Amino acid sequence: MSGAMFGKVLIAARGEIALRVARTCRELGIRTVAVYSTADRQTAVVDFADEAVHIGPPTARRSYLNAAAIIEAAHATGAEAIHPGYGFLAEDPDFAEICEANDVRFIGPPAHVLAALGEKSRARDIMAAAGLPVLGSGAGGSQAGPPDQLREEAAAVGYPLIIKPSAGGGGKGLTVVRGAADLLTAYAHARSTAQAIFGDARVYLEPYLDRARHVEVQVLADQHGNVIHLGTRDCSVQRRNQKLIEEAPAPAVSADVLEAMTGASVHASRAVGYQGAGTFEFLLDEQGNFFFIEINCRIQVEHPVTEMVTGVEIVREQLRAAAGLPLSVGQHDVSVRGVSIECRINAEDPRRGFAPAPGRLTEFHCPGGPFTRVDTHGRPGLTITPDYDSLLAKVVVWAPDRAQAVSRMDRALSEFRASGPGLATTTDFLRGVLASQPFRNAEHTTALVDQLRAERSAA
């Protein structure tokens, strides 16, 4: 790379992350191109970007997953690079290769790194070879074998176990199996779900930890061999294995474990030749042992909490790394101050098992006040469609300590207003999680949401 910053970037994403990337580009003097489907014609990033190109109908495969249309938009507008956000094509090695073949820079890891780490069971083997602790042996991989073979593999892993899509990510398509009687049905369901969501039926088996913490490490790497970490995040509050509340740094984790976890992430990043922003995800058991589960080769939804406690602007560093510039910070520059919490506001109804509850926003009001940030594409009149992810907004706060951060978040959520015909949000449910004793005491695990829902049902 020449080491010169891009003049124009196309943003191949939608929703709040598209607007967030566009804002950083504007601060850097980079012109932006938004792409949008018919359903997103009235969204905020279309108005904010310097240019906007319609790329297809609402169906994602004919718009945001349409690589040909996106490359054509980049060429037509003179965009030198494409930022894929955190969904759709963000971790697609084929798309990264297509960008390279068309002389457009993909803002993310090289295609060969995406190919190696995007297949989850293979990524786990690579990380195990790099010295990271992993759960189980990765049985049950590429194709469905005879039932007796599957039973043997499951017995070797042990129950309860979890079936994961090899091509998956974002907590989607996971299936928990608690006994041998349910194995064959669950395995068939997991494969069909993986095929439907990811276009790839391959799955693998891992031991399942009922009471685990979900802790992750943010890394940044450039093309000059510089690799740093930005500390940890706790993402244990989840529904359907997908995150609802995140915070940085991860609370109630010993200094020794934190040092081992962050050091292992940096070491593994160097070993695979990583570039850009990435997140190493771990499970932390009740004894303080941590296990690698996957690496997300993109910016994460929850990146704002890391920015709030470190002052490092992650999208800016992504752009620098992709342009061939060195990171603007070294490990010695990174210090973690205070506590930041993020709550995801989804257009879902917690009373109906978090079923999607889209609709037209007739009222939309975001909280303000000290150390309060809202990343959103919402505004009055916007229709939240059922075509895409239900994320509406991310409310993020910072405070000097965790107790103040929890209090500030509760205050911020009390100010949040989003309503309209048919629309429901997770706002009140999130306030209930914040008020729960396990969360306030930093004793919560990935089982917390199910525990709270069971308590409410029994009340």
pLDDT of residue 459: 63
pLDDT digits (tens, 9 = 90+) for 427-451: 999 999 999 999 999 999 999 999 9
Under CATH, which number does the domain 213-458 receive? 3.30.470.20
456 is catalytic: no
For residue 170, name the pLDDT band (cuts at 50, 70, 90). low
311 contacts 242 by C-beta, under 8 angstroms: no
Give the pTM: 0.92
For residue 142, name the pLDDT band (cuts at 50, 70, 90). very low
Of these residues, 20, 31, 105, 298, which one is catalytic? 298
Q: Of 129-143, 148-162, 170-184, which range is least confident?
A: 129-143
Residue 364, pLDDT above cutoff 70: yes
pLDDT of residue 2: 52
- A 10 A CB-CB count for 64 gives 27
pLDDT of residue 137: 54
**Cα 328 from Cα 339, distance rounded (Å):** 23
Residue 356, pLDDT above cutoff 60: yes
Q: Which CATH architecture has domain 136-207?
A: 2-Layer Sandwich (3.30)
15 contacts 344 by C-beta, under 8 angstroms: no
Q: Of 70-79, 178-187, 450-459, which range is least confident?
A: 450-459
For residue 365, name the pLDDT band (cuts at 50, 70, 90). very high
pLDDT of residue 248: 98
- A 10 A CB-CB count for 400 gives 11
Listed by start position, the domains of the chain span 8-93+102-107, 136-207, 213-458
Q: Which residue has the tokens 């990765």?
A: 138
**Cα 436 from Cα 450, distance rounded (Å):** 13
- Tell which phi-psi region holds residue 353, choosing left (phi > 0), alpha (psi between -120 and 50) or beta: left
427 contacts 409 by C-beta, under 8 angstroms: no
Concatenated DSSP letters for 288-352?
A: S-EEEEEEE-S--TTHHHHHHHH---HHHHHHHHHTTPPPS--GGG----SEEEEEEEESEEGGG
pLDDT of residue 149: 86
What CATH topology corresponds to 8-93+102-107? Rossmann fold (3.40.50)
pLDDT digits (tens, 9 = 90+) for 38-64: 999 999 999 999 999 999 999 999 999
Spatial neighbors of 353 by CB under 8 A, at least 6 apart, are: none
pLDDT of residue 145: 65
pLDDT of residue 226: 98
pLDDT of residue 172: 77
**Cα 322 from Cα 229, distance rounded (Å):** 18
219 contacts 279 by C-beta, under 8 angstroms: yes
Residue 152, pLDDT above cutoff 90: no
By percentage, how much of the chain surpasses pLDDT 90?
79
pLDDT digits (tens, 9 = 90+) for 61-89: 999 999 999 999 999 999 999 999 999 99
For residue 140, name the pLDDT band (cuts at 50, 70, 90). very low
Residue 361, pLDDT above cutoff 60: yes
For residue 29, name the pLDDT band (cuts at 50, 70, 90). very high
For residue 281, name the pLDDT band (cuts at 50, 70, 90). very high
pLDDT digits (tens, 9 = 90+) for 286-336: 889 999 999 999 999 999 999 999 999 999 999 999 999 999 999 999 999
Residue 141, pLDDT above cutoff 70: no
**Cα 389 from Cα 345, distance rounded (Å):** 11
Residue 171, pLDDT above cutoff 80: no
Residue 458, pLDDT above cutoff 80: no
2 contacts 324 by C-beta, under 8 angstroms: yes
